[in-house]
Amino acid sequence: MTQSVLPLAFCLLPSAFCLLPCAFVFAQHQAPHEIPRLPQALLERPTTVRTGVGAVHDAMAGASPEAQRFYDLGLAYLHSYVWIEAARAFHQALRLDPHLAAAHAAVSVAYLELNKPDEARASLATAQQLVAGRSAHERRHVELRALQAASEQAPANSATLAAYRTALQQASAEFPTDVEIALLKALATSDDHSERGQGLGAGAVTALENARSLAAD
Ligand SMILES: [Zn+2]
């Protein structure tokens, strides 16, 4: 549950805050547009382990070393907003270990960002079906993703975000050195239920610093 290098969105914290005003202006002037739906075969196309995308590691007990490597790669791509490659990496992990519930849950994030809500729901449902026999750590991640997804689907319902934040507090108490949970806590400081890190404000600094300190261990 350690990371030798924080993902792009978080290791560039000072730069990210410098860019906040520009991002705000961009958001104001960018016309809304729908992301085209990509062929499913593209998102499942086999991939290989890459370097230079951040060194993320969140150990899932019972996963084969190869499946773990691709799961970690998928997380790294998620943190860098490279949704297609994240989906490919998680699918590669799942070809190696179809029971890796955490990968089913994590790929739902990529699906959602790629305008595939049905696939996102299906992958999360599969994760929830498979997770019973997995470790407490993996069960936590699937639970967190389910609560996060419920919050994303109800952006006007503050109770869903509150429930997700409460679960994050419990998860971080149970797994205090888990960098992934620490990063999710930082994202959840935002009132945007779908926050992925690009809209974080000053309220996230303490949580991000905590994640960075954990990653440095
Ligand atoms: Zn974890």
CATH number of the domain within which 45 lies: 1.25.40.10
142 within a domain of the structure (yes/no)? yes
Q: How far is CA 210 from CA 21, 50, 203, in A?
A: 24, 27, 13
Rounded to the nearest angstrom, the distance between the alpha carbon of 172 and the centre of ligand 1 is 9
Rounded to the nearest angstrom, the distance between the alpha carbon of 56 and the centre of ligand 1 is 11
Rounded to the nearest angstrom, the distance between the alpha carbon of 21 and the centre of ligand 1 is 32
- Dihedral (CA of 213, 173, 106, 192) sign: negative
pLDDT at position 31 is 58
19 within a domain of the structure (yes/no)? no
Structural domain total, the chain: 1
Rounded to the nearest angstrom, the distance between the alpha carbon of 118 and the centre of ligand 1 is 25
Rounded to the nearest angstrom, the distance between the alpha carbon of 1 and the centre of ligand 1 is 6
Rounded to the nearest angstrom, the distance between the alpha carbon of 25 and the centre of ligand 1 is 35
- Cα separation of 13 and 177, whole Å? 20
Mean pLDDT of 165-190: 96
| 3-state per-residue secondary structure call for 57-106 | CCCCCCCCHHHHHHHHHHHHHHHCCCHHHHHHHHHHHHHHCCCCHHHHHH
**Angle of CA points 72, 7, 36, to nearest 5°:** 80
Full domain range(s) for residue 210: 40-216
| pLDDT of 167 over the 60 cut | yes
> Which tokens belong to 180?
């992934």
84 within a domain of the structure (yes/no)? yes
Rounded to the nearest angstrom, the distance between the alpha carbon of 24 and the centre of ligand 1 is 31
5 within a domain of the structure (yes/no)? no
Instruction: Give the global pTM.
Output: 0.84
- To which residue do tokens 């350690």 refer? 2
18 within a domain of the structure (yes/no)? no
* Tens of pLDDT, residues 56-110: 999 999 999 999 999 999 999 999 999 999 999 999 999 999 999 999 999 999 9
72 within a domain of the structure (yes/no)? yes
196 within a domain of the structure (yes/no)? yes
Rounded to the nearest angstrom, the distance between the alpha carbon of 60 and the centre of ligand 1 is 8
Rounded to the nearest angstrom, the distance between the alpha carbon of 177 and the centre of ligand 1 is 9
2 within a domain of the structure (yes/no)? no
- Annotate 127-154 with DSSP letters as a single string: HHHHGGGS-HHHHHHHHHHHHHHHHHT-
Rounded to the nearest angstrom, the distance between the alpha carbon of 2 and the centre of ligand 1 is 9
